[in-house]
Structure 1
Amino acid sequence: MKLKLMRVRENAVLPKQATAGSAGYDLCACIEEPQTIAPGARAVFPSGLAAEIPAGTAGFIFTRSGLGIKKGIHVTNGVGVIDSDYRGEIHVGLHNLSVEPYTVQPGERIAQMIIMPYFAPEIVEVASLSDTERGAGGFGSTGK
Structure 2
Amino acid sequence: MDLEVLIIAQDGFEPIYAKPGDAGCDLRSTHQLVISAGERMLVPTGVKIAMPDGYVGLVHPRSGLAAKHGITVLNSPGTVDAGYRGEVMVTLLNTSSEDFAIEIGDRIAQLLFQKVERARFVAVGELPESSRGESGFGSSGRS
Same-fold call, TM > 0.5?
yes
2:48 corresponds to: 50
Cα distance in 1 between the residues matched to 2:29 and 2:69: 16
Q: Could you tell me which residue of structure 1 aligns to residue 117 of structure 2?
A: 119
Q: What is the correspondence of 1:1-144 to structure 2 with a 5 Å cutoff? A: 1-7=3-9, 10-11=10-11, 13-31=13-31, 34-144=32-142
Q: Distance in 2 between matches of 1:76 and 1:132?
A: 33
* 1:113-135 superposed Cα distances (whole Å, 9 cap, x missing partner): 00001121112221100011221
- Compute the displacement of 1:11 (Å): 4.6
Please provide the CA RMSD for this pair. Answer: 1.2
In structure 1, the gaps of 5 or more residues are none
Cα deviation 1:83-131 (Å, max 9, x = unaligned): 0011111111101000111000001000000000112111222110001
Q: With structure 1 as the length reference, what TM-score do the two structures score?
A: 0.92
Size of the aligned set, in residue pairs, is 140
**Matched residues in 2 for 1:141 and 1:64: separation?**
31
Q: Distance in 2 between matches of 1:64 and 1:27?
A: 10
SS of the aligned residue for 1:68 comes to helix
TM-score (ref. length: structure 2): 0.92
Judged with a 3 Å threshold, the aligned counterparts in structure 2 of structure 1 residues 36 and 11 are, in CA distance, closer, same or farther, namely farther
The one-letter code of the counterpart of 1:142 is: S
Q: Distance in 2 between matches of 1:133 and 1:82?
A: 34
What runs of 5+ residues in structure 2 fail to find an aligned partner?
none
Runs of 4+ in structure 1 over 3 Å off: none
